[in-house]
Chain A
Amino acid sequence: MTIRVTMTVNGEPLTADDVWEGESLLHVLRERLGLPGSKNACEQGECGSCTVLLGGEVVCACLVGAGQAEGADIVTVEGLGDGEQLATIQQTFVAAGAVQCGFCTPGLLITAFDLLNRDPDPSDATIREALAGNLCRCTGYEKILDAVRLAAERAR
């Protein structure tokens, strides 16, 4: 059996047809809606690489069933900037050297974006706690901390 799923992604209403009911939101985004920015590193909610905003909440898109996303408002890494300019957190990830292989980056950007919306001036301990669900295998996290601190500073 297949289903049709309609959702708003990065402000744009999108529909996916012939979706197998066992597919995740991540699969629909990546393979059906042409939005592969959210990443498929563990697909069981441990690494945070697929993190998106669903109705303003941070979720792992791999743990959300496609049908559960029906009618939802989704923001992915592709929607962080305004099309012309990168969001501040995107700029500081590049500037601070927080990107190496970059596979964790989309999820970290969404998580950090959400953190800074809630807490514009987070302490290091708060940043660490907020990003604890996002694995990075390349950077040792030092420059990711730098990037979040820098984004907070630039927003002030």
Chain B
Amino acid sequence: MTVSTEVRNRTAGGIGESPVRPDGTFKVTGQFAYSSDLWMDGMLWGATLRSPHPRARITSIDVGPALKLAGVSAVLTHDDVPGEKVYGLEIADQPVLAFDEVRYQGEPVVIVAADHPETARRAAALVVVDYEVVEPVTDPREAVGHPDWKPVHDEPGERTAMSRDRAPVHPHGNIVRHQRIRFGDPDAVTADVVVQGDYEVGMQDQAFLGPESGLAVPADDGGVDLYVATQWLHVDRRQMSGALALPEEKIRLTLAGVGGAFGAREDLSMQVHACMLALRTGRPVKMVYSREESFFGHVHRHPALMRYEHGADRDGRLVYVRAHILLDGGAYTSSTPAVVGNASTLGVGPYDVPNVGMDCWGVYTNNPPCGAMRGFGAVQAAFGYESQMDKLAAAVGLSPVEIRTLNAVSEGSILPTGQRIDSPAPVAELMHRLDAMPLPGSVDQDIRLLPGGVSNTTHGEGVRRGVGYAVGIKNVGFSEGFDDYSTARVRIELVGDEPSVLVHTAAVEVGQGLVTVQAQIARSELGVERVTVAAADTQVGSGGSTSASRQTYVTGGAVRAGCAAVRSSLFERAAARYGPGEFRLVAGKVESLVDGVVGDIASLLLDGPVEHTVQWRHRPTQPLDEATGRGNAHVQWAFCAHRAVVDVDVELGLIRVVELACVQDVGKAMNPDAVLGQIHGGSAQGLGLAVMEEVQVVDGKLRNPSFTDYLMPTIMDMPPMRVEVLELADPHSPYGLRGVGEPPTISSTPAIVAAVRAASGVDLKRVPIRPEHLVAAALCH
């Protein structure tokens, strides 16, 4: 039996509503305990000594001077790692603490515990590490084929349980993964109209505000308890188990408050280090990265070099796409294989293309390691293919909206992997809706609202307006055959004579509102308003990662399934009490479908609580063929489109985004306010990539690891947004929902760049756009 829509609509605070966040009051009063807020009597502070060199041999490490400093309790090196010396999400190739060689600037070498954070930092600085500096490999093109290329790794890393089936590490070189897509006859085909372009995406940082941090507490059983901000408790624990040489049951993780994530918490940071120090000293150890250390302490978005060639007929209908995408993965694998999978399979965008020849490489260099960031491979490709679509539109005399609607995929389209889109794909509708939205008024004369703001030195004489469009595609959930599941424990019982539901998962709330939506699902499924979501920890089975826009889908699916199991048990009790029949649970009541309300849910709980724990999986996917890219690799697709309006001071090279309009299909808006929050925030990160955000790396070294020098959008930079949300149900997903978090980050960047091109007339090939890209081009005219 399924619960009717009517039931879902009748229990207050259920799905489709926007109840307030259960953690909201704690967050506005300062009581919410983030991972950097934790404190215990007698705790020590940890600090990390990191490599100053992008590449060097370690010839010796002398910890003696550090140990002599008063207040220092432990100084540990790779010799002190109890278990496996390397770890990794997909491939175990990243040292817990460097041994023999360092491969990027900022690689951890020594960890220290002391009674004051400053003492710990000073002790770390006293450690003497002798390095023999080696010239780093910093150009990804050199890494894959230049005659002088030098391998960054001598040996391939160990595959882990998260390894994709088709994610080989080249045994003797720098190629993490090379994925080919061959669809139709891309080599032989020709076209009447051909446009080509080279594009580059700079390195973006997730720049969550809550730094990497946590508290490790040694336990009486020889194990350790860790309170930490992360994105996936169980995958952390698995990697920690190897490094600490402890069975998983002796490592208990509890989620501390997470100050944003955006992909940067998928890889381990301080987890193993804090536990090593706690186990060695027998005391609780707190580690909190500074902002500068945070820039070295997590992976970034892969920089990309892309070459695209689009062929079309004279009407603008695509005939072929040929493309090369080169992603710089930096020194260690992280999630580069999966990022390559996304960039290649989504690399032509949401368009019907009969012939596709795509080669995508992820490579090792001695640049900072790159991995997960919101949009995960789809962001880089979208800047390439959307730039090309505008170029093609200009070549055939169509508007940006016309070229996209003409070539848009729709339900039933076959993607270049051979996979059929088997749910709504309203790409053309997104574009039409954007086109129909009113445009903002003319250039604002309030000087605060001109490009450059109050710092401007003109009164807008050189300001030109431009409008640009873009649309993107993103896969939802883990792809390529990964066994992607979540676990939910659902319990219903009487608390003070009232039915009360407890939902317990290990799924991580990072700010997006997962705790709210889990409770909404339980309310709708069980007809009970009082729902508590327990703290996420490893006492329950894995919730999978808070990434790939997957948690509402997968953990939401698990909570729904857990509730269904609980409901079945309650219906057995109802049948025993009220006689056989079909029942439903609504707003605290038990209703018979024949007789109406027959009693209270509370009365079914007089015999005691009901509890079930279930695992839930989305439909299986397949690996990609390495040579052709064929395979039903993806679970679901999500589509989002933006229109950007910008004012550009073409003389000063300054940009102000005046308005962003966005239309996104979310399948089902489980919590409409939270959906808007994701669209606003994701669009802002795309704006940042378009016009300001870049981790600048020169000769393998970071030049701007601070919020002074790494610029991201303030409230002055972010324009008002118009947002329309479509709800076209996906028949394969719980409630018809689609993942929401990533798509808005994908299309906002190319839409803004298109608008800047329209305003300035400059053929921009790189993001973020810098003033000199605009001014230098203008001077050449």
Contacts and interface: CB of A to CB of B under 8 A. Distances in A.
Interface of A: 20, 22-23, 30-31, 34-44, 46-47, 49, 76-78, 80-81, 86, 90, 93-95, 97, 99-106, 109, 125, 127-129, 131-145
- Chain B interface size, as a band, is 35 or more
A142 B720 contact: yes
B448 A94 contact: no
Nearest to A104: B209
A141 B259 contact: no
Contacts of B197: none
Contacts of B210: 39, 41, 101, 103
Given A78-B30, A102-B27, A103-B210, A143 B677 contact: yes
A34 B513 CA distance: 27
B715 interface: yes
Chain A CB within 10 A, most for which of B29, B511, B708, B713: B29
Q: Give 7 nearest A-B pairs by CB, closest first.
A: A37-B30, A101-B511, A140-B680, A102-B27, A103-B259, A140-B684, A100-B511
Contacts of B677: 97, 100, 138-140, 143
B21 interface: yes
A101 B260 contact: yes
B116 interface: yes
Interface stretch (B31-39, B457-465, B471-479, B495-503): B31-39
Given A125-B448, A132-B714, A137-B208, A77 B30 contact: yes
Contacts of B211: 40-41
A41 B512 contact: no
A87 to B, nearest CB: 9
A135 B712 contact: yes
Given A102-B28, A140-B677, 7 more contacts: A23-B118, A42-B291, A77-B29, A103-B209, A131-B714, A140-B713, A141-B715
Interface string B287-325: 010110000000000000000000000000000000000
A86 B30 CA distance: 12
A30 B30 contact: no
A76 B513 CA distance: 25
B446 interface: yes
Interface string B700-721: 0000001110001111101011
Given A81-B29, A90-B29, A132-B716, A142 B676 contact: yes
A30 B37 CA distance: 7
B28 A93 contact: yes
Contacts of B258: 101
Interface string B579-610: 00000000000000000000000000000000
A19 to B, nearest CB: 10
Nearest to B39: A31
Contacts of B290: 43
Nearest to A125: B448
A94 B24 CA distance: 6
25 contacts: A20-B116, A30-B37, A31-B39, A39-B34, A46-B706, A49-B209, A93-B28, A94-B20, A100-B511, A100-B512, A100-B677, A102-B27, A102-B257, A103-B260, A125-B448, A132-B716, A133-B714, A134-B715, A135-B714, A136-B209, A137-B260, A137-B712, A139-B677, A140-B681, A140-B682
**SS class of chain A's interface: helix, strand, loop or mixed?**
loop
B683 A140 contact: yes
Chain B CB within 10 A, most for which of A77, A139, A140: A140
A134 B713 CA distance: 10
B40 to A, nearest CB: 12
Contacts of B39: 31, 34, 36
Contacts of B679: 140
B674 interface: yes
A39 B31 contact: no
B30 A47 contact: no
Contacts of A140: 677, 679-684, 713, 718, 721
A141 B28 contact: no
Contact of A129 (B33, B448, B718): B448
B411 interface: no
Nearest to A46: B707
Contacts of B716: 128-129, 132
A138 B716 CA distance: 15
B262 interface: yes
B203 interface: no
Contacts of A39: 34, 36, 209-210, 259
Nearest to A38: B30
B209 A47 contact: yes
A137 B262 contact: yes
Contacts of B714: 131-135
A34 B511 CA distance: 24
Given A20-B118, A142-B676, A44 B31 contact: no
B449 interface: yes
Nearest to A18: B116
B212 to A, nearest CB: 12
A145 B716 CA distance: 11
B24 A99 contact: yes
Interface string B1-37: 0000000000000000010110111011111111011
B680 A44 contact: no
Contacts of A95: 20
A43 B718 CA distance: 23
Nearest to A32: B39
